[in-house]
Amino acid sequence: MPDTRPAPAAAATTESQIAVHWREEEYFKPSPKFVAQANLTDPAVNERFAEKNFPECFNEYAEMLTWYERWQKTLDTSDPPFWKWFVGGKINASFNCVDRHLAKYKNKAAIITVPEPEDEDPVAVTYQELFVRVNEFAALLRDFAGLKAGDRVTIHMPMLAELPITMLACARLGVIHSVVFGGFSGEACGLRAADSGSRVLVYMDGYYRSGKLIDHKASAEIAVATAEKEGQKIDKVLVWRRYPGKYASAAPMVKGRDVFVDDVLKDYCGARVDPVPMDAEAPLFLMYTSGTTGKPKGCQHRTGGYMAYVTGTSKYIQDIHPEDTYWCMADIGWITGHSYIVYGPLALAATSVIYEGVPSYPDAGRVWRIAQRLDVNIFHTSPTAIRMLRKAGPDEPKKYHYHFKHMTTVGEPIEPEVWKWYYHEVGKDEAVIVDTWWQTENGGFLCSTKPAIDPMKPGSAGPGVPGIYPIIYDEKGEEVKAGSGKAGNICIRNPWPGIFQTIWGDRDRFVRQYYAKYNKDPKSKDWRDWPYFAADGAVLASDGYFRILGRVDDVINVAGHRLGTKELESACLTVPEVAEAAVVPVVDEIKGRVPEIYIALKPGYAPTKEITDRVIATLETMIGKIARPKRVHIVPDMPKTRSGKIMRRVLAAISNTLDTGDITTLANPDIVEQIRVAVQGKEKLKTQEGPEDLKQFGTVD
């Protein structure tokens, strides 16, 4: 039984500790049926990937790929922390995801796209069809747009098959793609295009979202203007059409600059482009991510190491076989989509599902209908999506006849409460769950259970995956030991093939941000002196499982005790009426910071003082008086990004009467004023200059 006793030691924690209050949960075991078919069942993997076999252990992943020339050296550490992997090897990512499968699988679906309108049927692209379309578009990129290996291209597209086709066509030529999440604004796209030095943009004219055909091309104008303001001229905008031949945007096509891809492609019918053998260290793509400071950083990923790492982890952790129908609900515009919709699954010849629109439209059953219709057997999503689906339709999954063998959660800590709903209701007690912790910078998973080998523990990501040796350090650089109950900064002691090469154009920031904190000797060429600093808080249980608490700046310091916002939220979620919870720090004269709680209720419940009181009582019993919130606000909905993350930054700003900053990119900007009025009253209060930690709170994601 899980331990549900109140935390005994909350008041006794010392300054340097972060109080951690999620109870250790009982284990769940994978079913014999899952184990019987799994790719990785032999515990000898632990020995193979043990430190004494590092770095050569990673040859096992590289050998899953097809190389033009084998590497001479697995890891070169001569210029720390700029590690080089599979040195001397020559490889092409597009060849590995497409051409090499033709002999066996050419008539098998590579990508199935599910359009949002339910009267449009899903469309399957076979490996043969993918080969044709990638070749023709690569010919267009090379001969019409004049692109060659090493050039950068910025791609701003929704979730349709043309997006992975564009990426794979770039990879075929060695052109470095930079995909900007389709939901970002034109301005965000333009800034990234300028930073990467792209002179070509690839767009889609429109796409469906929540029942509306969105005019997406309109943002290209803003992107071009923004890039030009930054000194980057855009020569060409290549525009795919949602319906070839029928333009879905009101934005004018600029002569000499904008072209419809379906028009120009006619000239390349039947074209074949030999994949360019790329150096293993040649960059494959850039992925921009936000940091604590304003400017997004372009994480530069290499070809050989990245491909090896995503292929190996897709096989061992995602348990992907060529026969599987795999659906990751992430957007390809994020790292999860790159690694675990496109490159990993396709390198293994799986069928990868992508879908247009949002999970909750037209109703809360859509996700499960897709799973049923396509007979998806591997499912991959985020805690936010799980919470949202649970809120919108807790009983929906039951109504559909699908069977998952495997489910993934990624992106945030998952509350045990939510994990169990995922396991019992979505997974129908049949599917194994992996809680995978990693970051844009990392290329692939860092912590997770091995699904057929390690038992699952709700709320814990698990041990380091094969070949990853995590460690927790305190602020002084002392190791925080397993089972101590203390939290600290999780780091990875060793390099791995999926780690990014650098921040595009900013080597100093790369070293400063990720390695300077715990580097033992800046002159050392020994990788042991260069732990990777992940900027996440974590605790390590005595069983070797890591529990991730969130970004180090997502921690609330209450009277010298730091409380992970996630644990408070998890406690709130045990109150049966509560669907979603968000915790932010507010200034308290005595205690420094105290938590303030925002909750949204499940459908059918009205806000009452009784619920508020129960939330407070639950926090006090599950965590301790130290967690007593200043106030509890019951709100109609949370402010969310278009990818579904709750914007705690905005709530923290409201709670602390700070400037809410730019809210135009939210999915539901109108909710912000409603919440402000509910919290602060009708009259607009003068905003304050907040202390640094509050201004930073929730800005890293």
Q: Of 366 and 551, which has the nearer Cβ to ligand WTA?
A: 551
Q: Of 174 and 550, which has the nearer Cβ to ligand WTA?
A: 550
436 binds ligand WTA (CB under 6 A): yes
Six-digit token string for 155: 């791609």
> By C-alpha distance, which of 71, 467, 506 is closest to 281?
71
Question: In the 3-class helix/strand/coil scheme, how is 52-81 assigned residue by residue?
Answer: HHCCHHHHHHHCCCCCCECCCEEEECCCCC
548 binds ligand WTA (CB under 6 A): yes
Residue whose token pair is 């969310």: 640
Q: Which residues contact residue 691 at a Cβ distance below 8 angstroms, ignoring those fewer than 6 apart? A: 587
644 binds ligand WTA (CB under 6 A): no
Query: Shortest Cβ distance from residue 413 to ligand WTA (Å)?
Result: 4
Q: How far apart are CA 505 and CA 670, in angstroms?
A: 37
Q: Select the residue interacting with ligand WTA from 182, 413, 416, 463 (CB under 6 A).
A: 413
Q: Of 439 and 665, which has the nearer Cβ to ligand WTA?
A: 439
Q: Select the residue interacting with ligand WTA from 249, 360, 377, 440 (CB under 6 A).
A: 440
Query: Shortest Cβ distance from residue 701 to ligand WTA (Å)?
Result: 6
Q: How far apart are CA 651 and CA 596, in angstroms?
A: 9
237 binds ligand WTA (CB under 6 A): no
Task: Count how many Cα atoms sit within 13 Å of the Cα of residue 251 in the half-sphere of its side chain.
Answer: 25
Q: Select the residue interacting with ligand WTA from 336, 360, 384, 449 (CB under 6 A).
A: 336
Task: Please report, as a single letter, which amino acid is at residue 194.
Answer: A
> By C-alpha distance, which of 210, 181, 203, 209 is closest to 247?
203
569 binds ligand WTA (CB under 6 A): no
CA distance between the termini of the chain: 34
305 binds ligand WTA (CB under 6 A): no
Cα distances (Å, whole numbers) of residue 444 to 32, 220, 300, 465:
27, 31, 14, 10
205 binds ligand WTA (CB under 6 A): no
Query: Shortest Cβ distance from residue 310 to ligand WTA (Å)?
Result: 12
331 binds ligand WTA (CB under 6 A): no
Q: Of 413 and 497, which has the nearer Cβ to ligand WTA?
A: 413
Q: Of 319 and 435, which has the nearer Cβ to ligand WTA?
A: 435
Q: Of 113 and 449, which has the nearer Cβ to ligand WTA?
A: 449
Question: In the 3-class helix/strand/coil scheme, how is 269-304 assigned residue by residue?
Answer: CCCCCCCCCEECCCEEEEEEECCCCCCCEEEEEECH
> By C-alpha distance, which of 284, 327, 332 is closest to 307?
284
Query: Shortest Cβ distance from residue 410 to ligand WTA (Å)?
Result: 5
- Please choose, out of 123-131, 191-199, 211-219, 432-440, the segment that lies near ligand WTA by the rule CB under 6 A: 432-440
Q: How far apart are CA 459 and CA 29, in angstroms?
A: 15
639 binds ligand WTA (CB under 6 A): no
Query: Shortest Cβ distance from residue 536 to ligand WTA (Å)?
Result: 5
- Please choose, out of 79-87, 468-476, 545-553, 619-627, the segment that lies near ligand WTA by the rule CB under 6 A: 545-553
439 binds ligand WTA (CB under 6 A): yes
Q: Select the residue interacting with ligand WTA from 435, 567, 580, 596 (CB under 6 A).
A: 435
Q: How far apart are CA 181 and CA 219, in angstroms?
A: 13
Q: Of 76 and 543, which has the nearer Cβ to ligand WTA?
A: 543
Answer whether 629's CB lies under 8 Å from 595's CB.
yes
Answer whether 567's CB lies under 8 Å from 21's CB.
yes
Query: Shortest Cβ distance from residue 60 to ligand WTA (Å)?
Result: 23
538 forms beta bridges with: 488, 548
551 binds ligand WTA (CB under 6 A): yes
461 binds ligand WTA (CB under 6 A): yes
Query: Shortest Cβ distance from residue 317 to ligand WTA (Å)?
Result: 12
User: Where does residue 53 rank: exposed (0-12), middle (13-18), buried (19+ CB within 10 A)?
Assistant: middle
Q: Select the residue interacting with ligand WTA from 335, 392, 487, 635 (CB under 6 A).
A: 335
Q: Of 116 and 536, which has the nearer Cβ to ligand WTA?
A: 536
Query: Shortest Cβ distance from residue 436 to ligand WTA (Å)?
Result: 5
**Contact pattern from residue 383 through residue 412 relative to ligand WTA, giving x for each residue in contact according to CB under 6 A and a dash for the rest:** ---------------------------xxx
536 binds ligand WTA (CB under 6 A): yes
Answer whether 272's CB lies under 8 Å from 95's CB.
no
Q: How far apart are CA 171 and CA 93, in angstroms?
A: 6
- Please calculate the CA angle 115-118-119 and round it to the nearest 5 degrees: 105
Q: Of 279 and 701, which has the nearer Cβ to ligand WTA?
A: 701
Alpha helices in 595-655 (DSSP H): 609-622, 648-655
Query: Shortest Cβ distance from residue 289 to ligand WTA (Å)?
Result: 5
- Please calculate the CA angle 482-486-492 and round it to the nearest 5 degrees: 60
Answer whether 349's CB lies under 8 Å from 326's CB.
no
Size of the site for ligand WTA (CB under 6 A): 18
Rg (Cα) of the chain, in Å, rounded? 25
438 binds ligand WTA (CB under 6 A): yes
Cis check for the bond before 277: say yes or no (omega within 30 of 0). Answer: no
Query: Shortest Cβ distance from residue 379 to ligand WTA (Å)?
Result: 15
Six-digit token string for 309: 């790492």
Q: Of 186 and 564, which has the nearer Cβ to ligand WTA?
A: 564
Q: Of 206 and 413, which has the nearer Cβ to ligand WTA?
A: 413
Q: Of 110 and 433, which has the nearer Cβ to ligand WTA?
A: 433
Cis check for the bond before 81: say yes or no (omega within 30 of 0). Answer: yes
Task: Please report, as a single letter, which amino acid is at residue 218.
Answer: A
437 binds ligand WTA (CB under 6 A): yes
Q: Which residues contact residue 380 at a Cβ distance below 8 angstroms, ignoring those fewer than 6 apart? A: 318, 326, 327, 328, 329, 330, 336, 340, 407, 408, 410
Query: Shortest Cβ distance from residue 290 to ligand WTA (Å)?
Result: 9
Three-state SS at 43: coil
Q: Of 59 and 439, which has the nearer Cβ to ligand WTA?
A: 439
Q: Select the residue interacting with ligand WTA from 16, 39, 41, 289 (CB under 6 A).
A: 289
Cα distances (Å, whole numbers) of residue 507 to 301, 500, 514:
14, 12, 11
317 binds ligand WTA (CB under 6 A): no
Query: Shortest Cβ distance from residue 553 to ligand WTA (Å)?
Result: 10
Binding site for ligand WTA (CB under 6 A): 289, 335-336, 410-413, 435-440, 461, 536, 548, 550-551
